[in-house]
Amino acid sequence: MRTRPVLVFDGDCGFCTSSVDVVRRLVRPRCETVAWQHADLASLGVTEERARYEALWVTPAGQVYGGVRAVAKILLSAGGAWSVAGAVLVLPPVRWVAHGVYRLVARHRGRLPGGTPACAVPAARTHRA
């Protein structure tokens, strides 16, 4: 059984990988990190479709948070001022705005620094809220 949360991200996306590297160095969340391409997704309770769509935070108990909620969990786990930012991130209307920004960035991550065609979110999933 896992004792630490797991942050699952897209290891084929240069933007995502760079973002996780920055988070590990600056925020220092209390979690394991793994690219979904190298993860045992079934044991994490995550589908490949969802892992392709958004960053995921999987608790040791198996609860899965995606997108902005995963970002909030990352910040909350780091403690200190980061946890304050994480707590604010889950409050409406901040959460609603952050969700829109997250989806915008995710949809266009292939055009961002470090992005590649592999970063593209599958078109069938871009409409999901």
Burial classification of residue 106, based on how many CB atoms lie within 10 Å of its CB (0-12 exposed, 13-18 middle, 19 or more buried): buried
Helix (H, G, I), strand (E, B), or coil: what is residue 58?
Answer: strand
CB-based burial, 30-48: b 16+ in 10 Å, e otherwise: ebebbbbeebebeebebee
How confident is the model at residue 129, as a pLDDT? 37
How confident is the model at residue 43, as a pLDDT? 96
pTM over 0.95: no
How confident is the model at residue 119, as a pLDDT? 56
Could you check whether the bond before residue 93 is cis, i.e. omega within 30 degrees of 0? yes
Residue with tokens 């942050």: 7
How confident is the model at residue 120, as a pLDDT? 58
Tens place of pLDDT per residue across the chain (129 aa): 789 999 999 998 888 999 999 999 999 999 999 999 999 999 999 999 999 999 999 999 999 999 999 999 999 999 999 999 999 999 999 999 999 999 999 888 877 776 555 555 554 444 343
Q: Are 36 and 46 in contact (CB under 8 A)?
A: yes
- Closest by CA to 75, choosing from 65, 84, 64, 67, is 84
How confident is the model at residue 115, as a pLDDT? 53
| In the chain, domain spans | 6-117
How confident is the model at residue 26, as a pLDDT? 97
